[in-house]
């Protein structure tokens, strides 16, 4: 691999991975912004839950359409122009003066960001040098952590400023999105996508059409997309719940201040950076499954502590650190890696979009009732989150790992680049 190739691959990974930065900054920032908007806009716990649910639903629908359009039209075109829509949604949120602006803003923002994620990840994977695909895809999780850290840092600094602080949280994401939009226009289209598109247009043999839904719904790909969708949907509940409702849990359930919630989030991220870098170092090798198992154990223990001892500021801090570390090995990052490895080029975005959409739909439904559950019985919420960690691990160990090994052993063409 030449120095020029490596530099281009890392540039693509950085600009493509910024989708994860903006995703985290929006989700985490919205969790704090809605609390800061609460008094002036008259937002009830159910309204806060509904707004978070609408954001997640938008991410789901955007992933389906964006992933499909990326397969049909190209990665670069979709992930460039969806940022324009993303900024429009953020402007509504940044200058909201009525509750309806919050709901429309989170819907538009979610649609645009949902479209960006599968397309961006596909481009990163397809431009990665051989043997480094998982590492470069995993780098997006480093940027996700940076986005979350930035959102918590800003939220901590503006936590006492009310609605002005909420507007600053969203203005930060707007500035980042505009910079990324300018820089992304300099990226080239995925060479792998162009090659496969040209081969398809030249008249591929029946049954190997890369853009065919029939391929996606045939074995072993059907098992892969269903398994990954279930794994991601269940396993993501823990990180998504804390990402959206950390401030709510600290303030409304544990009785802490907004500044405490944001400070804890901010302090947890340096450790998250370190663990993700460890994952990046070993993810392309045989240690991947071991790292995943360690991550599961950490998240399970962290979730069990507030269940046993009770939910308070201290146990919430422990849970936050456990999620940050464990998810670096066994959270969204491992889904991102698997979703690039299981599917052929011209349905890679579509497959990811389907799995992401299913996950977001489940998260949206749970977000709708999370504040009410936490308010009525914090212990019940912890039971659900612990169960989610264990069920996701069961799916990974008994479904995804064995399927991956079978596809590699049989040299299935979809299992290789």
Mean pLDDT of 140-146: 87
DSSP state of 322: H
pLDDT of residue 267: 84
pLDDT of residue 417: 45
DSSP state of 283: T
Q: Say if CB 116 and CB 26 are below 8 A apart.
A: no
Is 210 within the bounds of a domain? no
Collect all residues with Cβ–Cβ distance below 8 Å to 55 and sequence separation of at least 6. 26, 27, 30, 106, 107, 109, 110, 244, 364
Find the domain containing 120 and state its range. 9-189+216-415
Is 306 within the bounds of a domain? yes
Alpha-carbon distances of 379 from 48, 173, 264, 297, 333, rounded to whole Å: 21, 34, 21, 20, 28
- pLDDT (tens digit, 9 = 90+) per residue, 296-331? 999 999 999 999 998 899 999 999 999 989 999 998
Is 307 within the bounds of a domain? yes
Residues 106 and 30: their CA atoms lie apart, in Å, by 9
Handedness of CA 260, 262, 265, 269 (dihedral sign): negative
Is 298 within the bounds of a domain? yes
Is 233 within the bounds of a domain? yes
pLDDT band with cut points at 50, 70 and 90 for residue 167:
very high
pTM for the complete prediction?
0.82
More reliable by pLDDT, 5 or 374:
374
More reliable by pLDDT, 201 or 62:
62
pLDDT of residue 112: 95
Residues 31 and 243: their CA atoms lie apart, in Å, by 7
pLDDT of residue 372: 84
CATH number at residue 66: 1.20.1250.20
Question: Which helix (DSSP H) or strand (DSSP E) does residue 23 occupy?
Answer: helix 3-41
Q: Which of 236, 52, 33, 276 is nearest to 146 (CA)?
A: 276
Report the interhelical angle of 288-309 vs 313-330 (nearest 10°).
160
Residues 306 and 384: their CA atoms lie apart, in Å, by 12
* Domain count along the chain: 1
Is 199 within the bounds of a domain? no
Report the alpha-carbon angle 115-121-122, nearest 5.
Answer: 95
pLDDT at residue 210 above 50? no
pLDDT of residue 204: 52
pLDDT band with cut points at 50, 70 and 90 for residue 416:
very low
pLDDT of residue 28: 82
Place of tokens 């691959």: 9
Structure tokens at 111: 């649609």
Is 1 within the bounds of a domain? no
Report the alpha-carbon angle 20-45-175, nearest 5.
Answer: 30
pLDDT of residue 3: 66
- pLDDT (tens digit, 9 = 90+) per residue, 252-303? 888 888 778 878 877 888 888 889 999 999 998 888 889 999 999 999 999 9
Is 397 within the bounds of a domain? yes
Alpha-carbon distances of 48 from 24, 33, 257, 371, rounded to whole Å: 18, 10, 18, 8
């Amino acid at each position: 691999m030449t120095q020029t190739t490596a530099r281009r691959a890392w540039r693509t990974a950085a600009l493509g991975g910024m989708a994860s930065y903006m995703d985290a900054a929006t989700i985490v920032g919205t969790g704090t912004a809605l609390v800061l908007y609460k008094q002036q806009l008259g937002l009830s716990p159910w309204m806060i839950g509904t707004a978070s649910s609408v954001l997640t639903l938008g991410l789901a629908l955007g992933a389906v359409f964006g992933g499909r359009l990326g397969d049909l039209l190209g990665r670069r075109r979709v992930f460039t122009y969806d940022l324009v829509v993303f900024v429009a949604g953020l402007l509504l949120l940044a200058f909201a003066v009525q509750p309806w602006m919050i709901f429309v803003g989170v819907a538009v923002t979610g649609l645009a960001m949902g479209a960006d994620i599968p397309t961006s990840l596909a481009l990163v994977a397809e431009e990665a040098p051989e043997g480094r695909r998982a590492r470069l895809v995993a780098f997006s999780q480093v940027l996700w952590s940076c986005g979350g850290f930035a959102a918590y840092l800003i939220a901590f600094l503006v936590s006492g400023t009310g609605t002005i602080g909420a507007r600053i949280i969203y203005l930060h994401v707007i500035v980042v999105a505009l910079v990324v939009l300018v820089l992304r226009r300099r990226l080239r289209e995925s060479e792998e996508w162009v090659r496969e598109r040209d081969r398809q247009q030249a008249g591929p043999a029946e049954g190997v059409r890369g853009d065919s839904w029939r391929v996606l719904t045939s074995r072993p790909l059907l098992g892969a997309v269903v398994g990954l969708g279930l794994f991601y949907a269940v396993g993501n509940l823990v990180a998504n719940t804390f990402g959206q409702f950390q401030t709510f849990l600290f303030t409304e359930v544990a009785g802490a201040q907004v500044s405490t919630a944001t400070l804890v989030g901010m302090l947890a991220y340096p450790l998250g950076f370190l663990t993700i870098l460890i994952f990046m170092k070993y993810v392309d090798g045989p240690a991947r499954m071991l790292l995943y198992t360690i991550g599961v154990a950490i998240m399970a223990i962290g979730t069990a502590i507030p269940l046993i001892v009770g939910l308070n500021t201290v146990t919430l801090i422990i849970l936050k650190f456990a999620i940050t570390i464990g998810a670096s090995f066994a959270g969204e990052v491992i889904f991102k890696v698997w979703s690039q490895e299981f599917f052929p080029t011209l349905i890679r975005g579509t497959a990811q979009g389907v799995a992401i959409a299913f996950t977001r739909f489940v998260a949206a439904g749970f977000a709708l009732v999370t504040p009410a559950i936490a308010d009525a019985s914090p212990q019940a919420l912890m039971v659900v989150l612990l169960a989610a960690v264990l069920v996701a691990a069961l799916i990974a160990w008994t479904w995804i790992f064995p399927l991956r090994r079978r596809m590699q052993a049989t040299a299935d063409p979809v299992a290789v680049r």
